[in-house]
């Protein structure tokens, strides 16, 4: 969840690290710090934003060419100056930045206190650097060996960087269960939690595996595992472009990413639809076609917005491929002794590919012998590497914490998968497959049409922005859209919102409805249309304020609702993609009107890499 940036080379380390930390702000954080080598190690840290750190540290040590920085999302200890990273050894000669959680820190800390170590923070990270210091003292070992020995004693997750005042030509990095990328330049190396801080300097990167130690000198990289075996790095080339990390004239990344959805959905489909043969090509997934087609069950594991996409996938796969699907919160799945069989397919969905609970669920399923299919956006991340096969969504970098284009790309990928399975089974006639594929390919153009309602949506946002509660209703395949709409509103505007199946309203939520309660209903012309009209009438009878997402040209609901937002007519399977667009814009405009930090909502992180 936190962000790490490390640099060793010939550039001004302060400039590289500060710029890198700003690129990682989207991950969510509450304090920031930097350590720079300039004859001695100098540590500067502050609660607050990276800009607060800049103001505090000023133009210090600008000639340093080695350093590391950190943005912290508090786990152990309150978000304050004392608990901010980097943390130092007792003799102030070592400094560390760390993402993840050291689970056995308390017992190690008690042992170190008995040996005379003292602690100035409440963090598990300070325990780790002082364990390394203690091992150096007792074993008279090199720093490299002390780090290796220390990491064999700790349990939990980490991505860390260590610098030593005694060696101005060395940065040490290590990883277990938390994301890390090593950038490789000419006479310089970069370390970061993702590739965004290094893209303007190099496109050559290495993704460390778990339990690897990386020793970086200005002209050399050495990689070992925790058993001290020397490893060779597999260098990859980034496809990421610097322009994708900029706002491009938009006020917020979230708004930019909403408007990128025609492009991101087209990218997700590119190369996967064979028009001439009217077939779907899913690359490496075809190698596992037999397992997919004979699966007795598909289990989808994910969190947050990706879980909502999984619910849409459940409707699509069961409708078209007739394979039973269960959709599980990864955070619950891993703790309840789930029944997993060797002929099960587990689909793991994650934008970042680093979601800790989803990774743990994958590992659990793999141990049980299931086949893992990953659906992920970030190339080279952990989930694709842990999966047997899978699909990249190719949505491009998503900087706004509230997921937008990642959701619609995930739904697109799941649509392609459902139709691929149906086609392989010869379950649907070719005419139906062709019709659905054609509909899917029209999605980018139809989304562009949806943007024409932006001014109307902005007006509606102004009418309900002061609400304290909001209800979202949908039926069938649009029930997950209601959940996603509610999530978008609550996470960026801080208005309490809930999504429900419309038919469940009578089983409790209807008690909340009065003239102060906005009720947003996905009410497109589909198989549940008549039922959703009845649900709207029930809300209307109780003076609820109805905002309806309707199919263009619908006059029946227009006559009932207080506000209507039209989307173009489309295949029912496509409505989750189109209906999501106005809900994203509505949440965005409400948040802006309420003065909220749209791209970095309070308490949230883009990539949840700790439990």
Cβ contact 196:397 at 8 Å: yes
Cβ contact 190:182 at 8 Å: yes
Q: Which residues pair with 204 in a beta bridge?
A: 237
Q: Which residues pair with 288 in a beta bridge?
A: none
Cβ contact 98:85 at 8 Å: yes
Please report, for residues 269, 280, 438, 571, the alpha-carbon distance to residue 442 in angstroms, rounded to integers and kept in the order given: 11, 16, 6, 10
Residue matched to tokens 């489909």: 269
Cβ contact 365:316 at 8 Å: no
Tokens of 38: 């300039």
Cβ contact 499:482 at 8 Å: yes
Closest CA to 29 of 11, 7, 65, 3: 3
Q: Which residues pair with 563 in a beta bridge?
A: 547
Catalytic status, residue 256: no
Cβ contact 557:530 at 8 Å: no
Q: Which residues pair with 469 in a beta bridge?
A: 496
Q: How far apart are CA 448 and CA 455, in angstroms?
A: 14
Q: How far apart are CA 563 and CA 555, in angstroms?
A: 12
Closest CA to 153 of 119, 186, 176: 176
Cβ contact 306:608 at 8 Å: no
Catalytic status, residue 596: no
Element (H, E) at 409: helix 405-425
Listed in sequence order, the residues at least 6 apart from 418 whose beta carbon sits closer than 8 Å to its beta carbon are 313, 316, 317, 319, 320, 321
Q: How far apart are CA 191 and CA 53, in angstroms?
A: 20
Tell me whether residue 559 is exposed, middle or buried, using C-beta atoms within 10 angstroms of its C-beta: 0 to 12, 13 to 18, 19 or more: exposed
Catalytic option among 22, 405, 488, 606: 606
The conformation of residue 549, written as its DSSP 8-state character, comes to E
Catalytic option among 2, 470, 570, 596: 2
Three-class SS of residue 326? strand
Total Cβ atoms within 10 A of residue 202: 18
Percent helix, strand and coil across the chain, each to the nearest 5? 40, 25, 35
For 210-343, list the strands marked E by DSSP: 212-217, 220-225, 230-231, 236-237, 273-274, 279-280, 297-302, 325-329
Give Dmax (Cα) for the chain: 82
Cβ contact 363:338 at 8 Å: no
Q: How far apart are CA 469 and CA 512, in angstroms?
A: 9
Q: What are phi and psi of 399, to 5 degrees?
A: -90, -40
Catalytic residues: 2, 606
């Amino acid at each position: 969840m936190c962000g790490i940036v490390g640099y060793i080379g010939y550039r001004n380390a302060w400039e590289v690290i500060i710029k890198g930390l700003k690129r990682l702000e989207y991950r969510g954080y509450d304090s920031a710090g930097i350590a720079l080598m300039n004859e001695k190690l100098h540590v500067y840290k502050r609660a607050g934003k990276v800009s607060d750190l800049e103001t505090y540290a000023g133009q210090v040590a600008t000639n340093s060419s080695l350093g590391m920085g950190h943005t912290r999302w508090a786990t152990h200890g309150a978000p304050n100056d004392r608990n901010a990273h980097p943390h130092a050894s007792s003799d102030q000669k070592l400094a560390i930045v760390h993402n993840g959680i050291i689970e056995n820190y308390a017992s190690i800390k008690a042992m170190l206190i008995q040996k005379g170590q003292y602690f100035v923070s409440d963090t598990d990270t300070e325990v780790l650097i002082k364990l390394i210091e203690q091992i150096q003292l007792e074993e008279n070992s090199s720093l490299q060996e002390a780090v290796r020995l220390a990491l064999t004693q700790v349990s939990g997750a980490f991505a860390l960087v260590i610098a030593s005042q005694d060696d101005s030509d060395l940065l040490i990095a290590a990883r277990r269960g938390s994301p890390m990328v090593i950038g490789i330049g000419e006479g310089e190396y970069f370390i970061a939690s993702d590739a965004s801080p290094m893209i303007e300097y190099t496109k050559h990167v290495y993704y460390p595996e778990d339990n690897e130690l990386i020793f970086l000198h200005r002209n050399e990289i050495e990689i070992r595992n925790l058993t001290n075996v020397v490893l060779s790095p597999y260098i990859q080339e980034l496809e990421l472009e610097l322009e994708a990390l900029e706002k491009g004239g938009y006020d917020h990344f979230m708004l930019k990413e909403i408007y990128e959805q025609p492009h991101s959905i087209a990218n997700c489909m590119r190369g996967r639809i064979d028009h001439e043969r009217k077939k779907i090509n899913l690359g490496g997934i075809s190698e596992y076609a037999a397992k997919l087609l004979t699966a007795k069950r598909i289990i989808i594991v994910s969190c947050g917005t990706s879980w909502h996409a999984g619910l849409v996938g459940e409707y699509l796969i069961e409708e078209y491929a007739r394979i039973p699907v269960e959709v599980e919160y990864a955070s619950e799945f891993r703790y309840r002794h789930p029944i997993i069989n060797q002929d099960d397919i587990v689909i793991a969905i994650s934008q970042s590919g680093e979601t800790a609970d989803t990774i743990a669920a994958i590992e659990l399923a793999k141990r049980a012998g299931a086949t893992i299919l990953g659906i992920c956006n970030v190339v080279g991340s952990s989930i694709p590497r842990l999966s047997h096969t899978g699909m990249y969504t190719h949505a491009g970098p998503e900087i706004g914490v509230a997921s937008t284009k990642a959701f619609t790309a995930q739904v697109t990928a799941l649509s392609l998968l459902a139709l691929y399975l149906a086609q392989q089974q010869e379950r649907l006639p070719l005419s139906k497959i062709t019709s659905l594929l054609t509909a899917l390919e029209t999605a980018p153009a139809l989304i562009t049409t949806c943007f024409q309602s932006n001014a109307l949506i902005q007006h509606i946002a102004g009418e309900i922005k002061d609400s304290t509660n909001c209800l979202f209703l949908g039926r069938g395949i649009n029930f997950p859209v209601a959940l996603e709409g509610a999530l978008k509103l609550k996470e960026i505007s801080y208005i309490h919102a809930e999504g429900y199946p419309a038919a469940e309203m009578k089983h409790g939520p209807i008690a909340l409805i009065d003239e102060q309660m906005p009720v947003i209903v996905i009410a497109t012309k589909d198989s549940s249309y008549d039922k959703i009209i009845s649900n709207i009438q029930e809300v209307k009878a109780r003076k609820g304020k109805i905002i309806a997402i309707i199919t263009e040209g619908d006059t029946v609901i227009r006559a009932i609702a207080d506000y209507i937002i039209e989307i173009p007519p489309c295949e029912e399977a496509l409505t989750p993609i189109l209906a999501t667009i106005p809900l994203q814009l509505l949440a965005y405009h409400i948040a802006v009107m309420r003065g909220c930090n749209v791209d970095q909502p309070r308490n949230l992180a883009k990539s949840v890499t700790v439990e």
